[in-house]
Chain A
């Protein structure tokens, strides 16, 4: 990748305040107006510490997944989120427990940020009864109906229309809730996105399109799979408020997501966030990662969202080594406990194979 792109990403981060389009002028005004009111609550040191904790928790959880995968404790396709933590954590800050989240196959970060216990996620990776999908989903299909977490979609863009339906139900019942749909730049090429963007804008659905542009559709670079690489620009053409955001900055993501969620709750229709980020690891644990050079990865690692926030906090005198060690220690304990619990958890009996195929109870002998 050319250095010019990084300049552009930083430039975009600065200009991310400005909406690219709004269906009505009133919509964008409302969005801007809300900015000043809510920002101070979320700019304190304690809040930054929460963001840091949430990101570190995802990172350490997944680092443990790598070890467990190598030890053949967990199997299947495992898609790591390492490098993208600022997106899940920042967007989650804009959502309430009443909102809904629709996710992809790279969803450990979304699930953990949404509040699904690490133990339930880890047990699912182990395929155990106590997993959040009862062992039937694995890494790619995490669900939690109680937390309104609707997967866990391994068909790229397959969750996008479903998110429109969740938003439609809220709209029809007059509920002031947001449905947040995560998907990647790869999914942006699918017809599902076009169909749903059109439908959502047409019906002014309370839907947040959270596009995680990590620059790769599996192993194919953005420039090689998108004719127009400015995704926010394209989304704006549907008449949605659309922003490009520095996805390596948790606070920037949070500000943008918060403004978008407020606009959606105010009835301004769907909003689109292009969260420009990068995955530090390969597409999946199977992927030898031969399609990108090390220098590119290193350039992006210099933007590590966890290090950026840590540095910012240190500069402000909001974090010292002792505090950081305490946070790390808490996370170590939590992840360790999750693994231990998953190891001990029972496996689903083979006789339960046909349970949940339909709602009627069925058992095989």
Chain B
């Protein structure tokens, strides 16, 4: 296609997700993809482009705009031994299927006394940054992380986009994958899979000694930028990527705080009742005596996401906000 050799090794977050889907469908004929525009359109965000041609309309299944019905159908198909991957365009739309996710997918195993595991994977986009306004931009993964019975993951890197799907499919319980919309075009070379195919552990993305910056998903690149800025100021920041929002890897969080004695939690969702609140509470519960400063939080503004670029930027955590919070904790 006229691309150079170097370019061919480069990939994007979107392509990494697609490659993971392709691999899953090639290796297990129980796996199929179902959702809005996943087939002929190639996926609302282009993730499944080309899969219809390779696997056909039975396994790359366009659905009506009926979130509750096709998520519920995914649950039923999983109960019957299939391995469905359901794509919902955005987390905002997933609320139309919340009953199925919470009252069925997360609950059936327990309600049935262990008889009915639901090996279902649901993928959806989350987050803001593309001026899509209030009904396409919210970060509600923290709500899902509230629910026992499901696993919630948020791949932030190319490696995780490429390698977290296989263990998600191998999990006998429902796994929700949150893909931040601003990450789809992120590009680079994919590292080795060994350390990445893990749904139980947070990852330390950058080591540091002065402060722990704890985040996940779409905020990770911003937090890494903030860490770079802090390094210029002589502050050594450790960056922890939660990766799995439920169950939380409390040990990695605590170990980091034990090393650095300070923490900033960065979460694009609303501050009140957020996942950042949960992480902060865990630090207070388990690492209180290791702390040299109060835990800081940098979260999304408490308003519906606005359209105007300047307002949207103001509503979201920015690297400068993280730097300022870190300075408050360290200085």
Q: Which of A's residues lie within 8 Å of B, judged by CB?
A: 100, 102, 131-137, 141, 143-145, 150-153, 155, 158, 160-170, 172, 179, 191-192, 195-196, 198-199, 202, 355-359
Q: Of all chain B residues, which has the CB nearest A361?
A: B114
B residues near A144, Cβ cutoff 8 Å: 115
B residues near A145, Cβ cutoff 8 Å: 112, 115-116
Q: Is B208 an interface residue (CB 8 A)?
A: no
Q: Report whether A357 and B148 are in contact in the complex, using a CB–CB cutoff of 8 Å.
A: yes
Checking A100, A132, A158 against B99 with a beta-carbon cut-off of 8 angstroms, the contacting residue is A158
A92 to B108 Cα, complex, angstroms: 23
A357 to B81 Cα, complex, angstroms: 19
Checking A137, A155, A192 against B69 with a beta-carbon cut-off of 8 angstroms, the contacting residue is A192
Q: Report whether A169 and B99 are in contact in the complex, using a CB–CB cutoff of 8 Å.
A: no
**Max count, chain B CB within 10 A of own CB: residue among A100, A137, A162, A196:** A162
A residues near B172, Cβ cutoff 8 Å: 359
Interface pairs (7), CB distance under 8 Å: A134-B114, A144-B115, A165-B77, A165-B78, A168-B73, A195-B68, A356-B113
Q: Is B43 an interface residue (CB 8 A)?
A: no
Smallest Cβ distance from A164 to chain B, in angstroms? 4
Q: A150-B116, A161-B71, A162-B75 are in contact. Are A143 and B110 (CB under 8 A)?
A: no
Checking B76, B113, B149 against A135 with a beta-carbon cut-off of 8 angstroms, the contacting residue is B113
Checking A133, A155, A192, A357 against B115 with a beta-carbon cut-off of 8 angstroms, the contacting residue is A133
Q: Report whether B80 and A169 are in contact in the complex, using a CB–CB cutoff of 8 Å.
A: yes
B residues near A172, Cβ cutoff 8 Å: 32, 58, 77, 82
Q: Of all chain B residues, which has the CB nearest A181?
A: B76
Q: Report whether B76 and A164 are in contact in the complex, using a CB–CB cutoff of 8 Å.
A: yes
B residues near A179, Cβ cutoff 8 Å: 76
A residues near B100, Cβ cutoff 8 Å: 158, 161-162
Smallest Cβ distance from B10 to chain A, in angstroms? 36
Q: A133-B111, A161-B71, A161-B100 are in contact. Are A202 and B76 (CB under 8 A)?
A: no
Q: Is B210 an interface residue (CB 8 A)?
A: no
Q: Report whether A166 and B80 are in contact in the complex, using a CB–CB cutoff of 8 Å.
A: yes
Within 8 A of A (CB), among B90-115: 99-100, 103-104, 108-115
A102 to B68 Cα, complex, angstroms: 16
A25 to B285 Cα, complex, angstroms: 68
Type the 1/0 row for B57-78, where 1 means its CB is closer than 8 Å to any CB of A.
Answer: 0100001101011111111111
Q: Report whether A195 and B66 are in contact in the complex, using a CB–CB cutoff of 8 Å.
A: yes
A356 to B58 Cα, complex, angstroms: 32
Q: Report whether B109 and A192 are in contact in the complex, using a CB–CB cutoff of 8 Å.
A: no
Checking B32, B69, B111, B151 against A164 with a beta-carbon cut-off of 8 angstroms, the contacting residue is B69
Interface of chain A: mostly helix, strand, loop or mixed: mixed
Q: A164-B69, A196-B69, A199-B64 are in contact. Are A355 and B78 (CB under 8 A)?
A: no
Q: Of all chain A residues, which has the CB nearest B107?
A: A141
Q: Report whether A199 and B66 are in contact in the complex, using a CB–CB cutoff of 8 Å.
A: yes
B residues near A131, Cβ cutoff 8 Å: 113
Q: Is B79 an interface residue (CB 8 A)?
A: yes
Q: Report whether B73 and A199 are in contact in the complex, using a CB–CB cutoff of 8 Å.
A: yes
Q: Of all chain B residues, which has the CB nearest A145?
A: B115
Type the 1/0 row for B151-190, where 1 means its CB is closer than 8 Å to any CB of A.
Answer: 1000000000000000000011100000000000000000
Smallest Cβ distance from A186 to chain B, in angstroms? 15
Checking B63, B103, B148 against A199 with a beta-carbon cut-off of 8 angstroms, the contacting residue is B63
Smallest Cβ distance from B108 to chain A, in angstroms? 8
Q: A158-B104, A172-B58 are in contact. Are A136 and B110 (CB under 8 A)?
A: yes
Q: Is B142 an interface residue (CB 8 A)?
A: no
Smallest Cβ distance from A300 to chain B, in angstroms? 32
B residues near A153, Cβ cutoff 8 Å: 104
A residues near B113, Cβ cutoff 8 Å: 131-137, 143, 356
A residues near B72, Cβ cutoff 8 Å: 158, 160-162, 164-165, 192, 196
A242 to B75 Cα, complex, angstroms: 26
Checking B71, B81, B99, B151 against A155 with a beta-carbon cut-off of 8 angstroms, the contacting residue is B99
A165 to B108 Cα, complex, angstroms: 15
A residues near B79, Cβ cutoff 8 Å: 150, 162, 165-166, 169
A residues near B84, Cβ cutoff 8 Å: 165
9 A-B pairs with the lowest CB-CB distances in the bound complex, closest first: A165-B76, A161-B72, A134-B113, A169-B80, A195-B69, A143-B112, A195-B66, A165-B73, A356-B114
Q: Report whether A151 and B111 are in contact in the complex, using a CB–CB cutoff of 8 Å.
A: yes
B residues near A357, Cβ cutoff 8 Å: 109-110, 148-149
Q: Of all chain B residues, which has the CB nearest A141?
A: B111
A153 to B104 Cα, complex, angstroms: 8
Q: Is B319 an interface residue (CB 8 A)?
A: no
A residues near B76, Cβ cutoff 8 Å: 102, 150, 161-169, 179
Q: Of all chain B residues, which has the CB nearest A150?
A: B79
A135 to B115 Cα, complex, angstroms: 12
Smallest Cβ distance from B116 to chain A, in angstroms? 6
Q: Is B218 an interface residue (CB 8 A)?
A: no
Q: Report whether B109 and A359 are in contact in the complex, using a CB–CB cutoff of 8 Å.
A: yes
Smallest Cβ distance from A77 to chain B, in angstroms? 14
Sample of 4 further A-B pairs with CB below 8 A, known A150-B79, A179-B76: A102-B76, A134-B114, A164-B76, A172-B77
A133 to B100 Cα, complex, angstroms: 20
A196 to B112 Cα, complex, angstroms: 23
Q: Is B35 an interface residue (CB 8 A)?
A: no
Q: Of all chain B residues, which has the CB nearest A163?
A: B76
A100 to B75 Cα, complex, angstroms: 14
A169 to B82 Cα, complex, angstroms: 6
A358 to B110 Cα, complex, angstroms: 8
B residues near A137, Cβ cutoff 8 Å: 111-113
B residues near A168, Cβ cutoff 8 Å: 73, 76-77, 82
Smallest Cβ distance from A50 to chain B, in angstroms? 28
A160 to B75 Cα, complex, angstroms: 11
A residues near B110, Cβ cutoff 8 Å: 136, 356-357
A residues near B112, Cβ cutoff 8 Å: 133-134, 136-137, 141, 143, 145, 151-152, 356
